Structure 1
Amino acid sequence: MAGTASPGVVWVLIEYRGGWPPNGFEGLDLAAGTQALVLSAARTARARVLLVRRPGPRRRHGPSRWAILRHQSSGAYQQLWGTWDRDEDLAEIVPALASPGKRGLPPVILICAHGQHDPCCAVRGRPVGRALSDRWPELVWECSHVGGDRFAATAVVAPDGVYYGGLDAESSVATIEDHFGGRIRAEYLRGYTDLFPPQQAAVAAVLGHFGPAGRNDYQVTETVREGEHWHIHITGRPPHPARIEVELQSRRSPPRQLTCRGPAAGSVIVYEPTSVRRT
């Protein structure tokens, strides 16, 4: 599972209380001009557009919300929120994508529950969404497809940019509590979205070897590839090890059905740590 987080550092969230089509925002029956503007601006900003809704019974009245969540290269997190009633209101997202946003807002917990994309996400994701919403009602949203349906239930903490997978109701609450406490563990970690897959796997290996750490306690400083072998150098903040080298072997997994809806067997690249050592 380590090394499977979808890369990206900008998210566009759009609350939508109706049914979600298999391809999410792109499949909605909205004003074509507005939809095209949002999608074009999101592509320019390399942002991922997700539909969101609160877990539980759907709220029928009142304006819906939208948000821009951004993880800066410095490690700073920024957000900008707005509301919409008419399709045309979503055009406000376009200038918002160029805005720096606000710091200091609490993170958002996204749980994939996109049953029209893959039923596993709804069956496994909704109980997790309810459990997390009971604990953090203002922070939790169900969301459309974020990648890695085979790891349902999947959670994304944004704009931290941390993917988790294989969660159930009990493990999800403990995992997010640890996350907020600066104790990210390797057990359910898929990866950090500002890193490439082998770098994600290397950080997970470090957390598994040396114990949990905060989101920014480790930094990847060098990545060297030699065929199917990877050498990843990582630095840590005190009290964590200062310099670590991780060696990985990449291989393709045996073919198997990857998702509940997958029509045929597929294969993926996995990264196996062969060495984790201080340098």
Structure 2
Amino acid sequence: MWRVSTCTTLSRELTEPLAATAATATTWLLLEQPGPWGAKALTASHLDPELGAALDRAADGTGVRIALIRRPGRHADTDTAARHEVLIAHTSPADPWVRRARIDSPAALLDLDFAALGAGRHGGFGAEHVGGPIALVCTNGRRDRCCALLGRPLAADLAAAGHSEAWEVTHLGGHRFSPTMLVLPHGYAYGRLTAESAKEVLAATAAGHTVPAHSRGRSYWPRPSQAAEQAVRELTGESAAADLTMRQQRDGDGWTVEVRHADGRRWRATVAESASEPPRPESCGKAPGTPSRMDVTALEALTG
């Protein structure tokens, strides 16, 4: 199956690390929109393209990332939604939450305070989500064929296994790590999943944990902090989602990240950015490139 998916094949063969490749967002706004999706789905779906562009502008610079979602299965061009499910999720380790509502018109979302959402204030939107973990599997074949070939079967398998909160999503970045999945409420992204490892991730999430072996990072953190978190988890074996927090600062050409554990332990990670070599396509059909990677070059325990 991997042979037909050029960008995923090369990424695996080159043992490109998953760590620190998650899309960054403090808060996710997810709008149900059945039917087909184009490469830039907010303006290329059955959603009014002017509304999609307006939502994109409203979210710009706020920490909110907008994506479209739909239930797994076949998606005829005539698919529409009389009412639209909306999920809003804030992914801070200190106070993660998911709110949900059904709305008649997606235009109502323009009334939201996007800056407040990005900062973790939901303003009473909808109702608190009280179900299990929410699995968002990237399946947008118009964006990259790997997401359709590998993502759609995974989403369908999760739904068939009884995961009622399995959704297809338009774009999570990192096509070459397909199948990719974002899991709420904690906001960890995962890559190179199988049906078995995806179910392992969902079970761990339900227990308040993450699975570092498949993790691309917590979307709440910028990429240098994602790298530092992964390094500490690998060092300590810590998997509790809420137990690590980051404090990042620029340090010359790289970054210094202080990682704090809830029990008081601290570490200092030195993180450097470099280009991945040799060149490889970041997405099917694109020319080979050298995507950025984040590496922890030093990790020390702090005392006092």
Task: Give yes or no for TM over 0.5.
Answer: yes
Please say which of residues 152-161 and 90-99 is displaced more in the overlay.
90-99
> What is the CA-CA distance between 1:218 and the residue it aligns to?
0.3
Please say which of residues 134-143 and 190-199 is displaced more in the overlay.
134-143
Q: Quick check: 1:16 aligned with 2:33?
A: yes
Partners of 1:119 and 1:216 in 2: CA distance: 34
Which residue, out of 246, 251, 260, partners 1:235?
260
Partners of 1:97 and 1:67 in 2: CA distance: 15
Counterparts in 2 of 1:13 and 1:167: CA distance versus 1, 3 Å: same
> What is the CA-CA distance between 1:232 and the residue it aligns to?
1.7
- Length-normalised TM-score, structure 1: 0.86
Aligned residues: 272
The alignment partner of 1:178 has SS state of: helix
The alignment partner of 1:231 has SS state of: strand
Which residue, out of 158, 175, 193, partners 1:167?
193
Would you say the 8 A contact 1:253–1:269 is kept in 2? Answer: yes
Which residue, out of 88, 102, 106, partners 1:82?
102
Counterparts in 2 of 1:223 and 1:18: CA distance versus 1, 3 Å: same
Q: Which runs of 5+ in 2 are unaligned?
A: 1-17, 115-121
Q: Quick check: 1:92 aligned with 2:108?
A: yes
Partners of 2:134 and 2:175 in 1: CA distance: 20
The alignment partner of 2:212 has SS state of: coil
Would you say the 8 A contact 1:55–1:130 is kept in 2? Answer: yes
Please say which of residues 202-211 and 66-75 is displaced more in the overlay.
66-75
1:165-187 deviations in whole A, cap 9, x for unaligned? 11111111112212222331321
> What is the CA-CA distance between 1:105 and the residue it aligns to?
3.1
Would you say the 8 A contact 2:225–2:248 is kept in 1? Answer: no
Letter in 2 for 1:24: A
Would you say the 8 A contact 1:14–1:51 is kept in 2? Answer: yes
- 2:219 paired residue number: 193
Would you say the 8 A contact 1:10–1:47 is kept in 2? Answer: yes
1:174-231 deviations in whole A, cap 9, x for unaligned? 1221222233132111111121111101101111111132222101134352324x33
Letter in 2 for 1:266: G
- Length-normalised TM-score, structure 2: 0.79
Partners of 1:95 and 1:159 in 2: CA distance: 24
Letter in 1 for 2:154: V
Partners of 1:36 and 1:123 in 2: CA distance: 28
Partners of 2:301 and 2:180 in 1: CA distance: 32
1:130-171 deviations in whole A, cap 9, x for unaligned? 232234532110111111101111101134221111111111
Would you say the 8 A contact 1:79–1:105 is kept in 2? Answer: no
Letter in 2 for 1:71: H
Counterparts in 2 of 1:104 and 1:19: CA distance versus 1, 3 Å: closer
| C-alpha RMSD of the superposition | 2.5
Q: Quick check: 1:178 aligned with 2:209?
A: no
| Sequence identity percentage | 25
Please say which of residues 59-68 and 135-144 is displaced more in the overlay.
59-68
